[in-house]
């Protein structure tokens, strides 16, 4: 009796297994019967398999956003360092049949943090803002020693250093050509980055320097020398002390080291 029950259970398990296999296997049919059903089953499995493994993950979103940042800010001379920004690892979007698109906000300067719009084009599509924190290093000019107000920086006064320009909100100077002829408007200590706001306007004539004073007397041009008491660029008005007479004459800068006396 026990042997009969055991045999019955074994037969039942075998029949159930055969049924399950038959549900996912093509049935043997004569002259192509069942082939449409088998093809449909195979197609359904093929459609379900990619969806289970091709979701857009947090890692995909972060990679697309970081690449967009490197492309935008990784110009010649820049070294971009991406700071790790954790996204929810459970964040999943439907698989995107197209390449992910990215868009950065329009803004001036180099930010230390930016939100990149990552989207999947098409219908229905989707979009998400991915935060990226970064550092952008670039060679800028730094003072080599303390400098006084009125000094004009030269090659011996500054040197280049790599700094994170994303944190230089007031700008920076990369070359002495950018400040040619400009004097400092305030004193600076050693080791600080030169900023555009540190400088006065460009001076063609500097206070205290010898200049050529040009005057018109009865239609005749007369030239003499004097000391500029003020500084300024071409077109600026200033005072000059005549070396011969000691008189202070008002004039206008007409060129480098040249002042035309006003009538």
Q: List the domain boundaries for the chain.
A: 56-135, 138-201, 210-261
What per-residue confidence (pLDDT) applies to 54? 62
Helix (H, G, I), strand (E, B) or coil at 144: coil
In the chain, % helix, strand, coil (3-state, to 5) comes to 25, 35, 40
Q: Say if residue 93 is preceded by a cis peptide, omega within 30 of 0.
A: no
CATH of domain 210-261: 2.30.30.760
Token pair for 200: 């006065």
What's the rounded Cα separation, in Å, for the pair 80 and 136? 5
46 sits in the region (left: phi over 0; alpha: psi -120 to 50; else beta) called alpha
Token pair for 50: 């990619």
CB 132 within 8 A of CB 65: yes
Q: How far is CA 56 from the centre of its chain?
A: 26
Per-residue pLDDT of the chain (263 residues), as tens digits, is: 444 444 444 444 444 333 333 333 344 444 444 454 444 344 333 333 333 346 888 888 999 999 999 998 988 789 999 987 788 877 778 888 888 999 998 877 788 889 999 999 877 789 999 999 999 999 999 999 999 988 889 999 999 999 999 999 888 999 999 888 788 888 999 999 999 888 877 778 888 999 999 987 776 888 999 999 988 877 788 999 999 889 999 998 888 889 989 87
What per-residue confidence (pLDDT) applies to 21? 33
CATH of domain 138-201: 3.90.1210.10
């Amino acid at each position: 009796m026990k042997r009969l029950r055991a045999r019955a259970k074994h037969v039942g398990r075998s029949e159930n297994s055969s049924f399950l296999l038959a549900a996912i296997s093509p049935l043997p049919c004569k002259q192509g019967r069942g082939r449409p059903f088998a093809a449909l089953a195979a197609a359904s499995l093929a459609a379900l398999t990619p969806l289970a493994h091709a979701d857009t993950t947090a890692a995909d979103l972060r990679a697309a956003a970081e690449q967009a940042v490197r492309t935008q800010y990784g110009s010649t001379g820049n070294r971009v360092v991406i700071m790790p920004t954790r996204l929810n690892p459970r964040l999943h979007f439907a698989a995107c049949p197209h390449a992910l698109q990215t868009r950065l906000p329009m803004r001036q300067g180099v930010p230390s943090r930016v939100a990149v719009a990552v989207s999947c084009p098409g219908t229905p599509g989707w979009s998400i803002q991915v935060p990226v924190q970064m550092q952008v290093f670039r060679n800028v000019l730094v003072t080599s020693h303390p400098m006084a107000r009125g000094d004009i920086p030269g090659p011996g006064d500054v040197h280049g250093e790599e700094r994170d320009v994303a944190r230089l909100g007031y700008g920076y100077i990369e070359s002495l050509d950018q400040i040619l002829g400009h004097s400092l408007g305030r004193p600076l200590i050693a080791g600080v980055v030169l900023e555009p706001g540190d400088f006065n306007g460009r001076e063609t004539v500097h206070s205290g320097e010898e200049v050529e004073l040009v005057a018109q007397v009865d239609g005749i041009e007369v030239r003499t020398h004097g000391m500029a008491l003020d500084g300024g660029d071409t077109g600026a008005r200033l005072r000059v002390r005549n070396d011969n007479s000691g008189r202070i004459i008002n004039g206008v800068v007409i060129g480098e080291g040249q002042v035309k006396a006003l009538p």
